[in-house]
Amino acid sequence: MALKCGIVGLPNVGKSTLFNCLSNAKAQSANFPFCTIEPNVGTISVPDPRLEKLEELVNPERVVPTTMEIVDIAGLVKGASKGEGLGNQFLANIRETDAIIHVLRCFDDGNIIHVDGSVGPIRDKEVIDYELQLKDLEVIEKKITSLARVIKSGDKDAIKENETALRIKACLEEGKSVRSLDFDEKEREFVKGFHLITAKPVMYLCNVDEASVVNGNKYVDEVKEAVKDEDAQVLIIGAKIEADITELETYEERQMFLDELGLEEPGVNRLIRSAYKLLNLDTYFTAGVKEVRAWTIKKGMTAPQAAGVIHTDFEKGFIRAEVMKYNDFTTLGSENAVKEAGKFRVEGKEYVVEDGDIMHFRFNV
């Protein structure tokens, strides 16, 4: 599933450094604005300890983790909605992503230039929010104008769509993002069709120094307070530390370094899993001697839809799904043991796949 998270933020907040840590696709990282001009796209593996356990039990020829795409987008500046800097390009690139990772600089360092001359994560957040909201306002005003002609015919759907658009317009004019509004199912369909940037789910990534990587600092506290009413995640990470970790050659060296910092795992692992969750994704597994593999699905997918992720023929010719729960399989140790315990299930077309299901599909084309 080609779902993307876009890394955004003002110039020099650590976006490209983080991207370099996340992906083998190396973005240029330098101490000046706009070092990232073309968006860099990296496909990254999602760390999942369940795969290691399945590998241990099944002993397959290969193990394939699930993946997601991260896009490093050029830094935005004031006036981007009017085309300043790389504004038009930035806004076009971010519109193509499914969720936003908003990097905020939450550390002091006189050697790293801030585009506004001082550290202020809330100010930085508001700069980007304002530009994105202005662009969305432009889009929604055009939509309201186009709907005006249809409403005159008495089209009920158009009237409902216009009411939704007017609510969004009022929200944006108050300086709030569209994601702060609650919508019913029909309204969500309209919103999806509007393609609004501030309707996308967001994670605020607080880039901190080494001393603040475990418990945060005053800047992180400011961010948490500022976004408490938004439906948004806040994650603390030290981009410089993550860069240092990637330079270490062995697992043992990395683990020693993490232990010294009081960390259980690299921050990028938490970031990737959080981004996966932000995209509203789940994982199911297929497990056999040839291959143990993780597959990405949207939450709420049915068994035929999940089968279609492997191949469209699986969905078209779906007959049934044979399902084991991950906890049952790893506790009992084998498929035969799961069957003997009466926990091996056969499910039909209406079955909604759950995160961690181990599945085998029967189909006929």
| Contact in structure between 113 and 32 (CB atoms under 8 Å) | yes
Determine which helix (DSSP H) or strand (DSSP E) holds 69, and give its type and residue range: strand 67-72
Question: Hey, is 209 helix, strand or coil?
Answer: coil
DSSP annotation of 86 reads T
Alpha-carbon span 52 to 40, nearest angstrom? 30
Q: Is 15 annotated as a binding residue?
A: yes
Q: Is 14 annotated as a binding residue?
A: yes
Name the burial class of residue 343, with classes exposed (0-12), middle (13-18) and buried (19+) by CB atoms within 10 angstroms of its CB: middle
| Contact in structure between 248 and 241 (CB atoms under 8 Å) | no
β-pairing, 318-324 vs 345-347, is antiparallel
Question: Hey, is 341 helix, strand or coil?
Answer: coil
Q: Which residue has the tokens 């609650």?
A: 182
- Dihedral angle computed from the Cα positions of residues 216, 247, 42 and 326, in that order, rounded to the nearest 10 degrees: -70
Q: How far is CA 109 from CA 9, 208, 244, in A?
A: 18, 10, 17
Q: Is 17 annotated as a binding residue?
A: yes
Cα R_g (the chain), whole angstroms: 23
Q: Is 13 annotated as a binding residue?
A: yes
Q: Is 83 annotated as a binding residue?
A: no
Determine which helix (DSSP H) or strand (DSSP E) holds 235, and give its type and residue range: strand 233-237
Alpha-carbon span 47 to 52, nearest angstrom? 10
| Residue list, annotated binding site for ATP | 12-17
Which residues are annotated as part of the binding site? 12-17
